[in-house]
Amino acid sequence: MRITTPGAVLLDWRPEDAPSLARHGDSPGIAATMRDGFPVPYTLEDAHAFIGAATGPGGHLYLAIELDGEAVGGIGVRPLGDVYCRTAEIGYWLSASCRGRGIATDAVRALVPVAFRRFEILRLQAGVFSNNPASMRVLEKAGFVREAVHERAIWKNGQVLDEVLYVRFAPGAGP
Ligand SMILES: CC(C)(COP(=O)(O)OP(=O)(O)OC[C@H]1O[C@@H](n2cnc3c(N)ncnc32)[C@H](O)[C@@H]1OP(=O)(O)O)[C@@H](O)C(=O)NCCC(=O)NCCS
């Protein structure tokens, strides 16, 4: 898959992206905003393992955010299971060197319609840690609404945080 956005290109991860993934992903600041599966330090082995999983089976859609031919971030959609199977989560990160240019917002805006077409979902949601206003702003600019605050739901780096849940509903989805 290849999606051109105003600021970047979203495309399937390739094994040759591993060095740039390890370079741009290796950031305590990024890891602090993500679930614990996002490693710090981010080694080349971690990058190869991620790309293998991202491009293998699993019912998800994980894409690299590419700028000037280099993978500088990632964005993905993962449907939940069990009774939550009509909901998917969206997540993303971008190298600190490329921020503040609308790249993440463009990526989210571009992936939302793709997610609703590709998966049989009614909801696309993102759980943002309460100390991450930049990500909340990205979601608001991309048309997500702040639905709930899960108080003290997050334990990250020895700190208790709230989780702020943002959602977009499938077009035409009613009660
Ligand atoms: C969140 C992230 C993807 C944003 O990437 P980006 O390309 O810089 O985002 P955009 O430029 O599209 O938009 C960022 C918005 O946040 C705003 N912002 C940035 N820092 C902010 C802060 N500390 N407080 C409030 N708003 C902030 C920017 O001003 C901008 O809003 P604006 O267009 O109204 O001015 C990037 O910061 C990142 O990768 N962070 C670490 C990983 C992460 O947080 N992932 C999401 C986990 S839920």
Q: Is 19 a member of any domain?
A: yes
**What is the total count of domains within the chain?**
1
d(CA 58, CA 101): 32
- Structural domain of residue 86, as residue ranges? 2-124
The structure tokens listed for 111 are 């992936």
In a domain, 155, yes or no: no
**Ligand 1 geometric centre to CA of 25 (Å):** 16
Q: Can you give the pLDDT at residue 174?
A: 62
Burial of 15 (0-12, 13-18, 19+ CB in 10 A): exposed
**Does the beta carbon of 125 sit less than 6 angstroms from any atom of ligand 1?**
no
Residue 27 placed within a domain: yes
CATH assignment at residue 29: 3.40.630.30
Q: What is the mean pLDDT of residues 55-83?
A: 97
pTM of the model: 0.97
Decide if 137 is inside a domain. no
Over residues 47-72, mean pLDDT: 96
By most ligand atoms within 8 Å of CB, the mutation choice from 137, 144, 161, 162 for ligand 1 is 137
Task: Please tell me the distance from the alpha carbon of residue 66 to that of residue 4, in angstroms, as a whole number.
Answer: 10
| Residue 134 resides in a domain | no
- pLDDT attached to residue 168: 98
What average pLDDT does the chain have? Answer: 97
Question: Within a domain: residue 148?
Answer: no
Could you tell me if residue 98 is inside a domain?
yes
Indicate if the pLDDT at residue 172 is higher than 90.
no
pLDDT digits (tens, 9 = 90+) for 75-130: 999 999 999 999 999 999 999 999 999 999 999 999 999 999 999 999 999 999 99
Task: Compute, in angstroms, the gap from residue 105 CA to the centroid of ligand 1.
Answer: 8
For residues 118 and 79, is the Cβ–Cβ distance under 8 A?
A: no
The answer to whether residue 149 is domain-embedded is: no
pLDDT at 175: 55
Answer yes or no: are the C-beta atoms of 99 and 67 closer than 8 Å: no
| pLDDT of amino acid 98 | 97
pLDDT tens-digit series, residues 136-170: 999 999 999 999 999 999 999 999 999 999 999 99
**What are the tokens at 20?**
């740039």
Is the pLDDT assigned to residue 69 strictly greater than 70? yes
Q: How confident is the model at residue 32 (pLDDT cuts 50, 70, 90)?
A: very high
Contacts of 123 (CB under 8 A, 6+ apart): 86, 87, 88, 167, 168, 169, 170, 173
Mean pLDDT, to the nearest integer, of 31-42? 98
pLDDT score for 173? 65
Query: In whole angstroms, how far apart are CA 87 and each of 83, 100, 116, 145?
Result: 9, 29, 10, 15
pLDDT (average), residues 51-75: 96
